[in-house]
Amino acid sequence: MGKKLTTSGITVLVLGVIIALVGLIMFFSVFFSVFNMGFSEPDPFGPGFGNDFGPGFGGVNISRAFIGAPLFGLGCFLAKVGLGMTIAGQAGNAVKWYKNNVNDSSGSSNKCKQCGSDNNLQAKYCNACGQQLN
What are the tens digits of pLDDT across the range 3-48? 666 788 889 999 999 999 999 998 888 777 655 555 555 555 555 4
What residue type is 61 in one-letter code? N
- Do 25 and 59 fall within a single domain? yes
pLDDT computed for residue 56 by the predictor: 42
Q: Please check whether residue 45 lies inside any domain of the structure.
A: no
Q: Please check whether residue 118 lies inside any domain of the structure.
A: yes
Give the count of domains, the chain.
Answer: 2
- Do 74 and 131 fall within a single domain? no
- Do 21 and 54 fall within a single domain? yes
The whole domain housing 114 covers 104-134
- Do 122 and 63 fall within a single domain? no
The residues with which 119 forms a beta bridge, in sequence order, are: 110
Which of 46-50, 59-63, 108-112, 128-132 has the lowest average pLDDT? 46-50
Q: DSSP secondary structure string, the chain?
A: -HHHHHHHHHHHHHHHHHHHHHHHHHHHHHHHHHHTTTS-PPPTT-TTSS--S-GGGTT--THHHHHHHHHHHHHHHHHHHHHHHHHHHTHHHHHHHHHHHTS--SS--EEPTTT--EE-TT-SB-TTT-PBP-
Tell which wins on pLDDT, 42 or 69: 69
- Do 54 and 16 fall within a single domain? yes
C-alpha 86/C-alpha 13 separation (Å) is 8
